[in-house]
Amino acid sequence: MARVKGGLMAQKRRRNILDEVKGYRIQRSKKKRAARDAIYHAQLHSFAHRKDKKADFRALWTVRINAALMQHGLKYSRFIKMLKDKGITLDRKILAQLAVEKPEAFTRVVESVK
Contact 73, 110 (CB under 8 A): no
Report domain 7-113's class.
Answer: mainly alpha
**Mean of all residue pLDDT scores within the chain:** 93
Give the pLDDT confidence score for residue 76 in this predicted structure.
Answer: 94
Kindly list the domain boundaries of the chain, sorted by start residue.
Answer: 7-113
Q: What's the CA gap between 92 and 54, in Å, rounded? A: 12
Give the pLDDT confidence score for residue 99 in this predicted structure.
Answer: 94
pLDDT tens profile 72-96: 999 999 999 999 999 988 899 999 9
Q: What's the CA gap between 57 and 105, in Å, rounded? A: 22
Residue 5's pLDDT band, with cuts at 50, 70 and 90, is confident
